[in-house]
Structure 1
Amino acid sequence: MWRRRAIGWLIISFAGLLLLLGRLIQIQLIDTETFSKHNVNLLEESVRQRTQELVIDNGRGNFLDRNGTMLTHKKVSVLVLFPFLKKIEWDAEKVSNISGIPVHVLKQAVEVAEKPFAYGDPEPYELTTTQRDRINRLKIPGVFAIEKKFERSDVPAEQLIGLTGENPKELKKRYPNKELSEKTLLGVSGLEESFDEFLLPEGKSKLVYHVDGGGAPLFGINVKYVDPANPFYPVNIRTTIDKTLQQNAEQLVDQYQIKKGGLVLLDMEDNSILSLVSRPTINKNDPYNDSGMSNMMLKQQIMGSVFKTVVAAAAIDHSLDGANRLFDCSKKINGKPELKYNYGMLNFTDSFARSCNRTFGQLASELQKMNPHLLEDYANKLSLTGSVGWQGDVYHTNDFNQLADEDKGRVFLSDEARKDANLAAMSGIGQNEVRATPLAVANMMATIARGGDKEMVRAVSKIEYKNGTTMIDFPKKSIKGDNISPYTAMKLQRLLREVVMNPNGTGRWFKDLPYTVAGKSGTAETGKYKLGQQLHNKWFAGYFPYDHPKYVLVAVNLDVSDSEGGVNLLFADMVKMLYQKDHGMK
C-alpha cells in the first residue's frame, strides 16, 4: 500500500515539475515579448528592473503648423543629470559656470534625485546651443546637455489637434496585427485620432544606464544613448494652422468672453484652416468626461438668419428676387404685427441687408411649393449640409477623412416637415430643423467668394518623413455635386456686401474696417432658457477683402442671452489683426 502511495506522489511531483518546466520555457523562450493577455514584453520588463532611463522623445509623430513650428510639443536644450553623480566626485563648478545654475542648487538637485532628470522639469531650464556644446565638451559622466521633447502646457487649437491616451483594449482592437507595448499612446480625438496609424512610434529615444539593487551603476558609469535610428520615422503631420494667428485668435475669443462657441478662419487660396478656436477649453484634470472635448466648430448648430443666404440663392435662380417686388416687413413670419423689427415695405436686397424674417419665410414657402427639395438642393450646392473636410484614398485606407468627428448639416429631418409650408417658412430663416457646423458655414462663404466652386477644407497639407521629404500630399479637391452658377454667386456676393454697406444693414459695424467685408449675421433661437431668458446662437460669417477675397471668417457665440454679444467685436478685431499682419504692422 505504502509503495503504491509513494509511486503516486512521485508521479504527481514529476507532473508538477513538468508543468513548472513548461511554464519556465513559455516565460523564457516562447512568450518573452507577448506574455499573458496583456502582451507584456518580459524582456523589456526585466531590462527595466535593472536600468534607469530618461526618455528624450517618445517616438510618436509630431504636429507642425504650416511654417514647420511644433504645435503639441517643443524641443528644448536642457541639462540632464544622473543620480549616480551623488556617489562620485564631479566638477559641478564648471557646469555651474557654463549653465548659470548655482553649484549648491545643482548638487541639491542630484542629492534628492532617484532617477535621471532634466533640470527644471516640468518647466525646463533652457540652455543655448553654445552652452549645450560647452557642457558636452566637459565629458563629465552622468552630465549631458541634450535637446529633449516636452509637451506644451497650452496646445494651440487643442480640440482640432485632439488628445492621446493609453488604452490597451482599444489598442489591440485598432491594431490587432501590430506588436505594440500596452503603454503606446493612442489618438482618442481630433487629428490625433484621424492620423493615429501614421503617428504610431517605432521606438523611444532615451539615455539608459544599468544599476544594481541599490541604484548604483552596475557597469561603471557608462550611459548609453538608445534610438530607433530610423531616418523616416517618426513622421510630422504638417497642419495648415498658423501658430501665431491661432494664439492671437484664442486670446481674442477669451477677451470677448466666448464661453461656448469660437471661430473658424479659412485661407481662401487653398481652402484650408488657418485658425480654429473652440470653447469651452478642455479640462486637463478630467479631459475625457468634459464638454470641452467637443470641437464646437465641427458640431452642427442652429444657424438662424445665416441660412437666408441659401434661400436667396434659390430665389435668384427661380426669379423671385425682382427689383420691383416688395415684402411687408412690418409683419412677423406668421403674419402678426412686427413690433420690434418693423421695417415696413422692403425690396429683396434691403430685406437681405436688414435680415427681414417675413421676406425669407415667404420666399421659402414659395420655393417649397415649387419643389419640396429645393432648400436642401441649394444648401447642398453651397456645401452647407454634407461633410466639407478633406476626404480621399490614402495608401490602403479608402475614403480617409481628415476631420473624422465632423457633423453633417441638415435642413429637414422628415418628409412631413419638408412638405409643410409653415415649417418650410421657419426653415427659411434658419430655425425649425436647420443645422450646420461653423466650418460648413465658412465653406459656404468661401464657395460664394470663389464664384460657386465647392472645395474640401484641409486641416493638414501633407505628412512628412523625419528627414523632411513628403510621405503623403493632400491636394486641393472639389466637393462632388451640383454648384451654383457664377451669376448666382456674383448676385450673392453683392447681397453679402450690402449687409455691410447698407446704413441699416446688420453688418454695418464692419463698414470702416481696413479690409472690405462681405457677410451675413444670424441670431438663432435655441429653445433653451436660463433664468427665464431665451438663449440664442449669435453668428457673423463673411469674407474679405471683398474685391480680392483672401480670408473667410465665422465667429459664433452659442447659448447666450439676447443682451450678450461679443461676435461683432471679435470679428472686427480679427479683421484688424489680419490686416496689420499682412501689412507688416504691429
Structure 2
Amino acid sequence: MRKVLLPALIILAAVVLLTRIFFLQVIDDSFKLKSENNAIKIKYDYPERGYMYDRFGKLLVANQPSYDIMVVPREIKNLDTLEFCQLLNVTKEDFIKKVAKAKIYSPRLPSVFVSQLNKSEFAAFQEKIRKFEGFYVQKRSLRDYEVDYGANIFGSITQVNESQLKKNPYYNSGDLIGRQGVEESYEEVLRGVKGVKYIQKDKYNREIGSYKEGKYDTIAVQGEDINLSIDAELQRYGEQLMINKRGGIVAIEPKTGEILALVTAPSYDPGILVGRQRSKNYTLLYHDSIAKPLYDRGLLAEYPPGSPFKILTGLIGLQEGVIDEKTTFVCHHGFSYGRGRFMKCHSHPASQQLNNGIYNSCNTYFAQTYMLTINKYKNPGKAVDVWSNHLKSFGLGTFMGYDLPTGKRGNIPTSKTYDKIYPSGGWRSTTIVSNSIGQGEVLMTPIQLANMMATIANQGHYYTPHIIKKIEGEKIDKKYTTRHETSIDKKYFPPVIQGLYDVFNFGTGRSLKVSGIEICGKTGTAENFAKINGKRTQLEDHSIFVAFAPKDNPKIAIAVMVENGGYGAAIAGPIASLMIEQYLRKRITRTDLETRILNSNLKPRYAILGGMEAGSAVESTPKDPRLQAKIIATTPPVQKQVKVDTTKQN
C-alpha cells in the first residue's frame, strides 16, 4: 500500500498542475494582460473626479482639462532631443533624469514625463508628436476651484508616490490621488474608475486594433459628486475675519454634527496647487516655517482651553453631587490653597453660586468645585480617573472619528499622568487644581471645543462631527448619524445653559450681544508662553470664545481661538458673534464691530515670536501674490505649558 501511495500522490499533483497550466495558457488568457507583453499596449481613460458642492448646492470644486506627456522608454527611437526639450521647456539634464526614472519603473510601461500641460502647450506639442516615438499624450482632468477659500477643507490632488504604488494596485505611475482634506478622505468616491483599453501591435510595433476585439476593455466611470456640510458663505466670511490673525474657527450644527465652517489662519488660495506650478508653490508653502499655511489649526493645534473648560468642571460637580445650583463660595479676588498658594481672580461680587459663577467666570467657584470632586474619593488617583472619564464622554482626549485625515487627541490627564509626573506620589487636589480652569495638563483642539458646545446645546449628547452631507447615489457612514451620550444627566444642563446665556446679559460677554438672537457663550483667556532667545517669555494671551445659538433649538455651535489675541471678548468673542449672525441672518447688523475685526492686525505680535521687529516677518512669506494674499506671517502655536494661576480666566 505504501509503495502505491507515494507514486499516486506525485501523479495526482502533476495532473493538477498541468490542468491549471492548460487553463491559464489556453482557456483563460487574461493573465497575459497583466504581463509586460510587447505585443499589447495598454491605454487608460481617466474619468473626471466628482464635483464638490456646499450644503446649499453651491459649486465649490469642478474640473478643467489637462494633458500629460507620457513616455514608454523602450519605444524611444531616433529622437531629436534638443527640439523635444525646447518644445516642452525642459533641460537636457532633466530629460535624462526623467527617462532614467521611467526606466526604473518599467521600460515597457508608460510613465509621466511632463504633467499638466495647458491647452496652448498641448497644441504646440500635438503638432509635432509624430516625430517623437515613445511619447504620447494622456488627457486628464485637474481641479478647477470656483472659490479662493477652503484650501484646508478641500486638500489637493497630486501624483502617487512609490509607497502608494506598492500599497494599492489600482494606481500606476503618474496617476493622481487625493492628498489631505476631502480629496484624501473621499478619494475612492471622487476618483471614479479609470477605463482600460488593450491595443494589439504587430511585429513592427504598429497598432493593429483592439486585443481580442475589446473583450477585456473597460469603460471609465466618472467620480461621484458630493455635497459638503460646509456653508460656503460662512466659510468665506470666517476666513476674511481671520486675515492678519492666527488661529482657528470651527462651527457645527448641533442636531446633526455637520461641520458648517472649518477655518484655519493663515490660509492660501487652493488654486495655486493646480497646474505645472503646483510643485513649486507647494514647496513654498511647506517650507514657510513662519506662517505655517499647511497647518490646520482647527484640527491640529492643541491649546489650554482656559475658562470655557469651567463649563465642564461645573457639570461634573453637579453630576458627582458635590455642588448644586445654590451652592455658594466666597471669592476674595482669588482662592488660597495649599502652602500659601493663591489663584487670583478678577473683581466681582464676593458671593458666587453656579449661575453668577459662570457669567462672572469666577476662578474660586470652579477651583472649589474641582477640589470637592477630587476630594470626594479617598484615593486621588481614582478621583482623577472618574473626572477624566466624564470628560472623555464628551469626545475629549481622543481622536473624534471625523471624516478628515488629520487631527490631534488633545490631552485629558488621568491618574497615570500624575503618577508619571510625581513618581514618589504625594500629589492631591491642590497639586492639580489648575485643571479646574482649563490650564494645567488639559489641552483641547478647536474642533473639540466646538463639539463640547454642540453637546451642551443638545443637553448631553452629540453626533460625530463630519464634513460630508451627501454622496450622490450612496449613503453616508452610519457612524455620523449615531448618537453619543455623555455621562452627565440631562437635568444638569439647563442651569448651566442659563449661566451661559447670562454671560451676554450680565457677564463677560455683555458687549457682544446681537439684538434678536439669544446666544449662550463663554469667554476665555489662556496664558501663553514661548522660548525667545532661550528664555521663557510670557506673551500676549490667547483669545478664546465658545458659543451656541439660539438658546432654544440651537442651530450653530462655534469655537474661536485667536492666538495672542488677548482678552476673550476682545477678538475671539466678536468673531464668534459675527459668525453666528452671518449664519442665522445672512447679514450683519453690527457693522462697526465687523469693521473693527476686519481691520485688526496681529502681525506685530507674531513678529515678536520670530525675534524680529514688528512688521519684518511679512518678508518671509512667498513672493507669489496669490500666496501673499492669504498667508500671514506667524509661528506655530505654543501647544503646552505648565500649570498657572491667572487673573485672566474670563
1:191 aligns with 2:182: yes
CA distance, structure 2, for counterparts of residue 570 and residue 111 of structure 1: 45
1:96 aligned partner: none
Q: 325, 330, 333: which one pairs with 1:330?
A: 333
One-letter amino acid of the counterpart of residue 284, structure 2 = D
Name the residue aligned to 2:392. Answer: 380
Equivalent residue runs for 1:546-561 within 5 Å: 546-560=551-565
Map 1:436-451 → 2, pairs under 5 A: 436-451=444-459
Provide the aligned length of Structure 1 versus Structure 2: 441
Q: Give the counterpart letter for 2:267 in structure 1.
A: T
Does residue 275 (structure 1) correspond to residue 261 (structure 2)? The answer is yes
Q: Structure 1's 415 and 550: CA in aligned 2 closer, same or farther, altered over 3 A?
A: same
**Residue 500 of structure 1, CA deviation:** 1.6
The superposition leaves residues 314-338 of structure 1 with CA deviations (integer Å, 9 ceiling, x where unpaired) of 1222142452512324125656677
Distance change in 2, residues 1:271/1:321 (3 Å):
same
Q: Secondary structure at the match of 2:463?
A: coil
Equivalent-residue separation in structure 2 for 1:508 and 1:530 (angstroms): 36
Task: Please identify, of 180-189 and 492-501, the stretch whose mean Cα deviation from structure 2 is larger.
Answer: 180-189
Aligned to 2:294: 293
Number of the residue aligned with 2:409: 408
Is structure 2 residue 228 aligned with structure 1 residue 239?
A: yes
2:368 is the alignment partner of 1:362: yes
Alignment partner, residue 573 of structure 1: 578
1:286 is matched by which residue type in structure 2? Answer: L
Partners of 1:413 and 1:433 within 8 A in 2: no
Could you report, residue by residue, the CA deviation over 1:529-557 in whole angstroms, capped at 9, with x for unpaired residues? 66954243221101011122111111110
1:326–1:346 contact (8 Å) kept in structure 2: yes
User: Could you tell me how far apart the structure 1 residues matched to 2:193 and 2:122 are?
Assistant: 33
**Displacement after TM superposition at 1:33 (Å):** 7.4
Cα deviation 1:499-532 (Å, max 9, x = unaligned): 2211xx1221223444111011111123326695
The amino acid that maps onto 2:347 is N
- Map Cα deviations across residues 38-69 of structure 1 (whole Å, 9 max, x no partner): xx99946xx89xxxxxx9x8633333222333
Contact 2:565 2:571 in 1 (8 A): no
1:202 aligns with 2:193: yes
Contact 2:234 2:579 in 1 (8 A): no
Q: What CA RMSD, in Å, does the superposition of the two structures yield over aligned residues? A: 3.9
CA distance in 2, matches of 1:530, 1:428: 29
Secondary structure at the residue paired with 2:545? strand
Q: For the structure 1 residues 42 and 311, does the alpha-carbon distance in structure 2 shift closer, same or farther, using more than 3 Å as the test? A: farther
Q: Deviations over 1:53-90 (max 9, x none)?
A: xx9x86333332223333233569xxxxxxxxxxxxxx
- The structure, 1 or 2, with the larger RCO (C-alpha pairs under 8 Å, 6+ apart) is 2
Cα distance in 1 for residues equivalent to 2:540 and 2:47: 46
C-alpha displacement of 1:154? 5.0
Q: Does 1:453 align with 2:471?
A: no
| Equivalent residues of 1:316, 1:488 under 8 A apart | yes
- Residue 385 of structure 1: SS of its match in structure 2? coil
Aligned-pair distance for 1:380? 2.1
Distance 2:562 2:522 in 1: 15
Q: What displacement does 1:201 show?
A: 4.6
Show CA shifts across 1:19-48 (max 9, x none).
xxxxxxxxxx99987769xxx99946xx89
CA distance in 2, matches of 1:560, 1:375: 30
Map 1:155-234 to 2 at 5 A.
155-175=148-168, 177-178=169-170, 180-203=171-194, 230=220, 233-234=222-223
Letter matched to residue 255 of structure 2: E
Cα distance per residue 1:445-479 (max 9 Å; x no partner): 11111121222112112322xxxx33655574335
1:314–1:378 CA contact under 8 A, matched in 2:
yes
In structure 2, distance between residues paired with 1:110 and 1:292: 32
Moved more, 405-414 or 304-313: 405-414
Residue 258 of structure 1 is aligned with which of 245, 248, 259?
A: 245
Contact kept, 8 Å, 2:556 with 2:580, in 1: the verdict is no
* Distance apart, 1:273 and its partner CA: 0.7
CA distance in 2, matches of 1:558, 1:153: 30
> Is contact 1:329–1:359 with CA below 8 Å preserved after alignment?
no
Secondary structure, counterpart of 1:375 in structure 2? helix
Amino acid at match of 2:180: S
Taking the aligned partners of 2:486 and 2:553, their CA distance within structure 1 comes to 25
Identity %, equivalent residues = 22
In the TM superposition, 1:34-73 aligns within 5 A as 43=41, 59-73=48-62
What are the residue-to-residue correspondences of 1:10-159 with 2, within 5 Å?
43=41, 59-73=48-62, 114-115=124-125, 150-152=143-145, 155-159=148-152
Q: For residue 485 of structure 1, what is the aligned residue in structure 2? A: 489
> Which is further off, 237-246 or 194-203?
194-203
Contact map agreement 2:385 2:415 (CA 8 A) in 1: no
Q: Do 2:47 and 2:192's aligned partners in 1 also have CA atoms closer than 8 Å?
A: yes
Per mean C-alpha deviation after superposition, the further-off stretch among 516-525 and 293-302 is: 293-302
Indicate conservation of the 8 Å contact 1:333/1:361, yes or no. Answer: no
Tell me the SS of whatever aligns to 1:434: coil
Q: Which residue of 1 aligns with 2:204?
A: none
1:245-297 deviation per Cα after TM superposition (whole angstroms, max 9, x unaligned): 2212222222xx322x1211112332201111111215745344453222211
Counterpart in 1 of 2:627? none
Q: What letter corresponds to residue 114 of structure 1 in structure 2?
A: A
TM-score in terms of structure 2 length:
0.60
Q: Residues 200 and 173 (structure 1 numbering): CA distance in 2 closer, same or farther, change over 3 Å?
A: farther
Judged with a 3 Å threshold, the aligned counterparts in structure 2 of structure 1 residues 536 and 73 are, in CA distance, closer, same or farther, namely farther
Question: Structure 1: which 4+ aligned runs deviate by more than 6 Å?
Answer: 29-34, 109-112, 337-340, 582-586
The AA in structure 1 aligned to 2:190 is L
Q: Which residue of 1 aligns with 2:598?
A: none
The residue identity in structure 1 corresponding to 2:384 is: P
Residue aligning to 1:125: none
Amino acid at match of 2:334: K
Return closer, same or farther for 1:329/1:182 CA change in 2, 3 Å cut-off. farther
- Structure 1 residues 499, 185: closer, same or farther in 2, change over 3 A? same
How much has 1:309 moved relative to structure 2? 0.8
Distance 1:346 1:285, change over 3 A: farther
Alpha-carbon distance in structure 2 between the residues aligned to 1:568 and 1:522: 9
CA distance in 2: counterparts of 1:551 and 1:186, whole angstroms: 33
